[in-house]
Amino acid sequence: MSAEFTHHGGRLAEACARFGGKAANWLDLSTGINPFSWQPDAGLSVDWKALPDEGALTRLEHAAAGFFGCDATLCAAVPGSETGLRQLARLLALPGLHQPLSYGTYRAAFAQTDAIEDLAHLPHRASVLVLGNPNNPDGHILPIAKLLSLLDHQERHGGWLIVDEAFADCDPGWSIAGAVAPGRRLIVLRSFGKFFGLAGLRLGFVIAPPKVLEGLREGLGDWPVHAAALAFGAAAYTDRTWIDAARSDLTFQANALDAMLQRHGLSSRGGCPLFRLIVAPNAGDMFRRLAHRHILTRPFAERPDLLRIGLPHGDAAVARLDAALAEVCGHG
């Protein structure tokens, strides 16, 4: 499988070059981004001529902290949670640990990193354990009690636990953000773009003890995020009507996708409603056959039996995917 499709989702330019067609004609299901995105009120304006306002940054961080359920003084905006993780790896200056099936940046961010097959057998040395919760790409969710147990192990050996909650906005019960505190070796990452469906804003948050945030802010400088991110983020995090409706709607859409996959004899995993992971021996072939129909999904270089698929947007997209799967899976 070509590397351009296995490193990240959303590679429409490469898909067009490889399989033909124009981007507008493709159905992009390669990411876990909410296709039913939050939209700003018509009265919300962005001043592109002025430098981002310090007061607006404070308002954004307080609005986000209220949504996350954490102390606002421990919450810092960053230009995307991936950037936040790379900065943290530099600041903490310890070897990284990650699960074999996880987001690729968990490996790339650290100068030295190891895969841990079994979380019950963590090494007895200082390290930074990075876990996605829900995990990307399989959607597995670890209970908070388990995360606290892992944190206890990391603290006893002088290490850290980073929990990447990029997909946790769908259910507040998944989050450990409220447990971050001064003197605790726990850091949480949050992403705006996944749940709110506006990944192009490149907005994320690091929730961490004060000393960590001090180093992070120093590295990012005076204007860590741009003006649109400040305005859109503050408004979105306080839009409780949209948030409640989105959580309900995403669960409904994910259940409908599950039913479709089952009709076509496909086995899937995932507790996060923004994506499903298909397990099939011919997953690589499915990726190619769907791509020839201009439907982009997410394959995995080291696991040719896996294919991640995001939510289709609207009835026409659902029908298109359903018809394509019927052909690809031999039912049409």
Cα separation of 296 and 290, whole Å?
Answer: 7
Tens-place pLDDT, residues 271-298: 899 999 999 999 999 999 999 999 999 9
pLDDT above 50: residue 1: no
pLDDT above 80: residue 332: no
pTM: 0.95
Query: What value does the mean pLDDT take over residues 121-130?
Result: 97
> What topology does CATH give the domain 3-32+241-328?
Aspartate Aminotransferase, domain 1 (3.90.1150)
Q: Is 57 within 8 Å of 224 (Cβ atoms)?
A: yes
pLDDT above 50: residue 94: yes
Domain-wise residue ranges, the chain: 3-32+241-328, 54-238
CATH number of 54-238: 3.40.640.10
Tens-place pLDDT, residues 146-182: 999 999 999 999 999 999 999 999 999 999 999 999 9
Tens-place pLDDT, residues 47-70: 999 999 999 999 999 999 999 999
pLDDT for res 270 = 85
Average pLDDT, the chain: 94
pLDDT above 70: residue 3: no
Tokens linked to 4 = 């351009």
Q: Is 29 within 8 Å of 287 (Cβ atoms)?
A: no
Tens-place pLDDT, residues 4-46: 554 556 688 889 999 999 999 999 999 999 999 999 999 999 9
Cα separation of 34 and 332, whole Å?
Answer: 29
Tokens linked to 127 = 């390290």
Q: Is 70 within 8 Å of 265 (Cβ atoms)?
A: no
pLDDT for res 89 = 98
Weakest-pLDDT range from 2-6, 19-23, 134-138, 263-267: 2-6
